[in-house]
Amino acid sequence: MDAAALATLFAQSAVGLVVLDPKLRLVRVNSLAEGEETGEYIGRRFTDAFRLDDPDGCEQLMKGVLRGEGPVRDHLVRGRLRRIPGDRVFLVSAYRLDDPGGRRGGTPAGTPEDGSGGAPEDGAAGPDAPALGLLTAVVDVTERERARTREATLAAVRDAVGGSLDVAATCRSFIDALVPDFADLAVIEVVDDVLRGADPPVGPLPPRTPLHRAASGRCDAVRDTAEAGSGSRECPDGATRRLPVRTPYALAAADLRARLVPLRPDTSWLATDPEGARAVAETGAHSLIVVPLTLRGAVLGLVSLYRCGAAEPFDDEDVSLAGAVGTRAALSIDNARRYEREHVIASTVQRRLLPQAERQQAAVDTAHVLLPGRDSGCWFDTIALSGARTALVVGDVAGQGLQSAIVMGQLRTVIQALAGLDLEPEEVLARLKDTADRLAHERAALPTGDPLQGEPLSAGCVYGVYDPFTRTCTVARAGHPAPLIVGPDGRAVALDAPEGPGLFSADSALFAPGSVTLEEGSLLAFCTADLLSGDRAAERVTDTLARPGRSLQQLGDDIVYALPGDTRSAGAALLLARTGTVSDHLVATWDLAQDRTAPATARGLVRDRLQDWGLDEDTVESTELIVSELVTNAVSYGTPPLRLRLLLDSTLTCEVHDGSTAAPHLRHARTVDEGGRGLFIVSRLASHWGARHGPDGKVLWTEQELSGDDSEPSPPARPAPESKAPV
């Protein structure tokens, strides 16, 4: 019965059975695979018969079984059979064979099965009794492991690809998920225009289309083989080539189907692709799968997968898997491309909405730095105000994409309009927040299905006004960091201004200003919060600003250089301003008596001063008339003190101050009216005019455009004294 059972088992078992002697040589073996001749295995060592990848490791395990250390069950080994090409995966179990008087099952003699210890039974072999050999069960699980590898590859691609909206990062994660478990060498190429955000071309892809090598990867064995060969360098990522005609790459891009291509040194199409032929020769590639990256009939690129050396060639199941992961990669690349295009559009809109050149301001030098990033909502501005004052603005809208740039443009336009009304900084921000609230209500009223309806808005802004005559800077801020002040001594402090609510917040608290008197040559730094975030970021910025002897643009560049190397800003804006005063020979101020002689006196003073500045007669006469009307209005309707000031810069500014808070209004006088035409005349002669209010009254001002010659005044022929006493 025992002999019959043994014979039947060896003859009919689907499991490969191998009997080894104590020297691990094959004594008996059944049919390991269909078509295999077992006779040639007899007498060979187990590790040689199966040509194992790790013969030493497997031999040590089997020697342990011979020593009585217990059986080995279901141990995976990799090797090759003599008559079946390709790598194979075997599941090996090994059991010790003892003589009939010894313990079977691999438990050393003298050790009870329950592990309680004790002396050997009578007649049992001792622990040093030699084994007769090993009974080894070998199961070929190559197909099962291949299927498991395919499942693991598909899962790896699903987990790794699609988490980034960057095309390069998406391609890199795709290659890393395929090499080395599925392919020995992999290359992903993207149509060059697609990387720039353009729509992918509809297939078939035209020959000679530029392809950008987005990412590639090779296993260690392939890398070692290439380096040991010709020693030439592999094509670097970022290189561009044209789609070679009459090759599997061109065919896959034409019919949009993945294809399996055997590779041999004499393959004919390699002659038309010298770069591909060189790669095949250097790496020993023998099997290729080309997968077009397609989405809705459009072609985004190609994926090339190679197996090299002794690796098993690709089969049809691998082609199906490659097509599935290629579809996943194409979808992720297209998502990243769409996001990149939106980012390019948003960045373009942002650049067009920002100042296109530095604006020359009276008594203030400015420079800016705008760091690119995914956040397109940062903005800055310098606005010339009446009386040689300058408004300095920095703000940011939280969020990404085109909508942030649009909201930024809306807020910047509103703040420019409000600045022209000569409002105080806290009033400007209060009205700006009213506009922001209306924008938020409009967004909340969008249909439920609109994606913007559920995206909250968030924005901050800081608005400051510098007056060169008083050397004061008044600042108000809405959910934004306070500006930094660096005095001529190099000491940096933050301007003490209360922080108001963010522009889109539900907080209805009032804005309060902060004011500081600056020394001439002080430096103001307005920056967004991202520039001050991080460990010691504010300290680095202030230390950089305190370094003397550099221009404003150099200071801004040095602040960027001082940022940590691992900083990836979402976008930031920096506005620098160095304060000064108006030159004495470009300004004239007179205190006038509050009586009917004041207009005539003002005309004479203005004529003399404008002639000293070398302005033409037309400008002199127009300015005399403007000043006469403004002073007449102040005498008739205002209260003392009455003061006249002229300021010559790129424009000629006239200012008349009186103690009344009542502002005049422009109106069209009727034919029979004796008055009411003064401001109408002023508005026709001046380029701009307006009124601003302060704690001690109001100022009526006008600006006149000057010709190129008038804007460069000649030095006065005699001293130009200023009279502060009533004239």
User: Where are the domains positioned within the chain?
Assistant: 2-140, 145-342, 358-579, 584-705
Nearest 5°: the CA angle 590, 595, 598 is 40
Dihedral angle of Cα 541, 542, 547, 551, to the nearest 10 degrees: 60
Q: Are strands 499-500 and 472-478 parallel, antiparallel or unpaired?
A: parallel
Per-residue pLDDT for 687 more than 80?
yes
Superfamily of chain region 358-579: PPM-type phosphatase domain (3.60.40.10)
Tens of pLDDT, residue by residue over 600-631, are 999 999 999 999 999 999 999 999 999 999 99
- Give the contacts of 14 (CB within 8 A, at least 6 positions apart): none
Per-residue pLDDT for 672 more than 50?
no
Give the integer Cα–Cα distance in Å for 278 and 276. Answer: 5
Per-residue pLDDT for 125 more than 50?
no
Nearest 5°: the CA angle 192, 196, 201 is 55
Superfamily of chain region 584-705: Histidine kinase-like ATPase, C-terminal domain (3.30.565.10)
Please, which pLDDT band fits residue 104 given cuts at 50, 70 and 90?
very low
Amino acid letter for position 368: H
Per-residue pLDDT for 133 more than 60?
yes
Per-residue pLDDT for 726 more than 60?
no
Return the top range by mean pLDDT from 13-22, 95-104, 210-219.
210-219
Per-residue pLDDT for 674 more than 60?
no
Give the integer Cα–Cα distance in Å for 229 and 727. Answer: 98
Mean pLDDT for the chain overall: 82
Same fold, 2-140 and 358-579: no
Beta bridge partners of 293: 301
Please, which pLDDT band fits residue 540 given cuts at 50, 70 and 90?
confident
Give the integer Cα–Cα distance in Å for 258 and 264. Answer: 19
Give the integer Cα–Cα distance in Å for 595 and 610. Answer: 24
Please, which pLDDT band fits residue 668 given cuts at 50, 70 and 90?
low
- Residues 96-113: b if buried by 16+ CB within 10 A, e if exposed: bbbeeebbeebbbbbeee
H or E element, residue 235 = none
At residue 516, the pLDDT reads 93
Q: Are strands 185-191 and 285-295 parallel, antiparallel or unpaired?
A: unpaired
At residue 627, the pLDDT reads 93
Tokens of 506: 């539900």
Give the integer Cα–Cα distance in Å for 225 and 308. Answer: 10
Give the integer Cα–Cα distance in Å for 84 and 31. Answer: 13
Architecture of domain 145-342: 2-Layer Sandwich (3.30)
Give the integer Cα–Cα distance in Å for 606 and 70. Answer: 114
Tens of pLDDT, residue by residue over 334-367, are 988 888 777 777 777 777 777 766 667 778 899 8
Tokens of 250: 């061109």
Dihedral angle of Cα 678, 684, 687, 690, to the nearest 10 degrees: 30
| Residue 273 burial class via C-beta count within 10 angstroms: exposed 0-12, middle 13-18, buried 19 and up | buried
Tens of pLDDT, residue by residue over 31-47, are 765 445 566 778 888 88
Give which of 472, 479, 538 is closest to 503, Cα–Cα. Answer: 479
Alpha carbon 516 to chain centroid, angstroms: 38
Tokens of 201: 């071309």
Q: What percent of the chain has pLDDT over 70?
A: 85
| Strand blocks (E) in 568-686 | 572-579, 587-592, 642-648, 651-658
At residue 666, the pLDDT reads 60
**Is the distance from CB of 208 to CB of 191 less than 8 angstroms?**
no
**Is the distance from CB of 17 to CB of 33 less than 8 angstroms?**
no
At residue 584, the pLDDT reads 85
Give the integer Cα–Cα distance in Å for 551 and 549. Answer: 7
CATH 3.40.630.10, applies to 2-140: no
Give the integer Cα–Cα distance in Å for 398 and 457. Answer: 7
At residue 515, the pLDDT reads 93
At residue 710, the pLDDT reads 59
Per-residue pLDDT for 59 more than 50?
yes
Helices 274-283, 220-228: inter-axial angle, 10-degree rounding: 100
Please, which pLDDT band fits residue 497 given cuts at 50, 70 and 90?
very high
For 77-86, 190-199, 400-409, 580-589, which range has the lowest pLDDT when averaged over its residues?
77-86
Q: What is the pTM of this model?
A: 0.66
Q: What percent of the chain has pLDDT over 90?
A: 32
At residue 101, the pLDDT reads 60
At residue 643, the pLDDT reads 93
H or E element, residue 459 = strand 459-467
Per-residue pLDDT for 426 more than 70?
yes
| Residue 231 burial class via C-beta count within 10 angstroms: exposed 0-12, middle 13-18, buried 19 and up | exposed
Query: What is the pLDDT averaged over residues 704-708?
Result: 80
H or E element, residue 185 = strand 185-191
Give which of 266, 265, 260 is closest to 283, Cα–Cα. Answer: 265
Question: Helix, strand, coil shares of the chain as percentages rounded to 5?
Answer: 35, 25, 40
